[in-house]
């Protein structure tokens, strides 16, 4: 009994502390990719300064009480203040549960919009590399790269179904690969110019380390790294 009163007081204090800091938005649509553990979410974020997004942003969403997770908006439209998220839910965690349970019409809350310091180089070839958790990041990087044919890259998706759906749903230069080994071979086969290619590595820390090593072995040194989780 006493514990439940203390818990209630704690929750109330948390709400009072969080409330002034949080901004809100609305879920417009949610699509669960069949057999693929990916959730695609369309949002209306009226207060987000999307016209100023010149680097790939990330948003710190409230996933549960006093629990926040970063997700990357892509496909944003500054006029309508809408954007989408792509969340890999193939594991258990507050972020996965939050994404799986979201429904159209629901209000969501976020603490901050942050900069990942990944913006496309103005002239070099931009090559994005990542995994299921960084698909949105790669799509955002592609959105920021002009002209579009300066963007290339690959993504490791161990679920082949997710790869097919990605190719059906999005127009992207990203090549779908099934393992880090395949990615290493793919990188070697591309013969990217060491002087005029910039690599952007994102996703699981282990994969990011493999990609970095492969690129170094091929003589590349122009890369930006953003590990998401370990
Ligand atoms: C800048 C930034 C942007 C990000 N953008 C995205 C995004 O657009 N989409 C996205 O899906 N994620 C993104 N992430 C990762 C996201 O913030 C969470 O770390 C991830 O969703 C795990 O949160 P969780 O609460 O579900 O699991 P947690 O409770 O944090 O982790 C549970 C367990 O699952 C493991 N795990 C965590 N993530 C994964 C995963 N993807 N696959 C397999 N195992 C995992 C963890 O190692 C841990 O053992 C981003 C992270 C950062 C830092």
Ligand 1, atom 47, lies closest to the CA of 230
Ligand 1 atom closest to residue 72's alpha carbon, by position in its atom list: 8
Which pTM was predicted? Answer: 0.93
Identify the H or E element spanning 28. Answer: strand 23-32
Cα distances (Å, whole numbers) of residue 82 to 2, 5, 29, 50: 45, 40, 11, 9
Q: What is the pLDDT of residue 45?
A: 98
Q: Which fold has domain 2-115?
A: Elongation Factor Tu (Ef-tu); domain 3 (2.40.30)
Q: Is 90 in the pocket of ligand 1 (CB under 6 A)?
A: yes
Q: How far is the CA of 229 from the centre of ligand 1 (A)?
A: 6
Give the pLDDT confidence of 50-96 residue by residue, as tens digits: 999 999 999 999 999 889 999 999 999 999 999 999 999 999 999 99
Residues facing residue 5 across a β-bridge: none
Give the pLDDT confidence of 156-174 residue by residue, as tens digits: 999 999 999 999 999 899 9
Point out the residues of the chain with pLDDT beneath 70: 1-3
Query: 167: which 2 tokens?
Result: 């190719």
Which of 159, 155, 162 is closest to 183 using CA atoms?
155
Q: Is 153 in the pocket of ligand 1 (CB under 6 A)?
A: no
CATH 3.40.50.80 fits 125-229, yes or no: yes
Q: What is the pLDDT of residue 181?
A: 95
CA pair distance 208, 205, nearest whole angstrom:
5
Query: 139: which 2 tokens?
Result: 């799509």
Q: What is the pLDDT of residue 1?
A: 52
Domain ranges for the chain, please list them: 2-115, 125-229
CA pair distance 157, 176, nearest whole angstrom:
7
CA pair distance 226, 205, nearest whole angstrom:
8
Q: Is 68 in the pocket of ligand 1 (CB under 6 A)?
A: no
Q: How far is the CA of 63 from the centre of ligand 1 (A)?
A: 12
- Using DSSP's 3-state secondary structure scheme, residue 33 falls into coil
């Amino acid at each position: 009994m006493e514990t439940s009163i203390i818990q209630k007081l704690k929750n109330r204090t948390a709400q009072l502390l969080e409330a002034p800091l949080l901004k809100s938005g609305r879920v417009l649509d949610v699509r669960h990719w069949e057999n693929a553990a990916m959730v695609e979410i369309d949002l209306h974020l009226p207060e987000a300064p999307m016209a100023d997004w010149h680097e790939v942003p990330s948003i710190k969403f409230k996933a549960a009480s006093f629990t926040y997770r970063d997700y990357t908006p892509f496909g944003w439209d500054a006029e309508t203040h809408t954007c989408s998220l792509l969340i890999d839910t193939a594991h258990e965690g507050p972020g996965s549960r939050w994404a799986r349970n979201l429904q159209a019409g629901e209000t969501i809350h976020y603490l901050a919009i942050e900069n990942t310091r990944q913006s496309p180089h103005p002239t070099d070839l931009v090559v994005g590399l990542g995994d299921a958790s960084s698909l949105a990041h790669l799509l955002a990087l592609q959105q920021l790269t002009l002209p579009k044919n300066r963007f290339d890259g690959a993504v490791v998706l161990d679920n082949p179904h997710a790869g097919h759906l990605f190719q059906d749903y999005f127009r992207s230069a990203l090549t779908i690969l099934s393992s880090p080994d395949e990615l290493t071979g793919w990188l070697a086969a591309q013969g990217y110019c060491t002087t005029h290619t910039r690599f952007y590595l994102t996703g699981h820390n282990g994969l990011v380390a493999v990609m970095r090593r492969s690129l170094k072995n091929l003589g590349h040194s122009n890369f930006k790294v953003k590990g998401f989780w370990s």
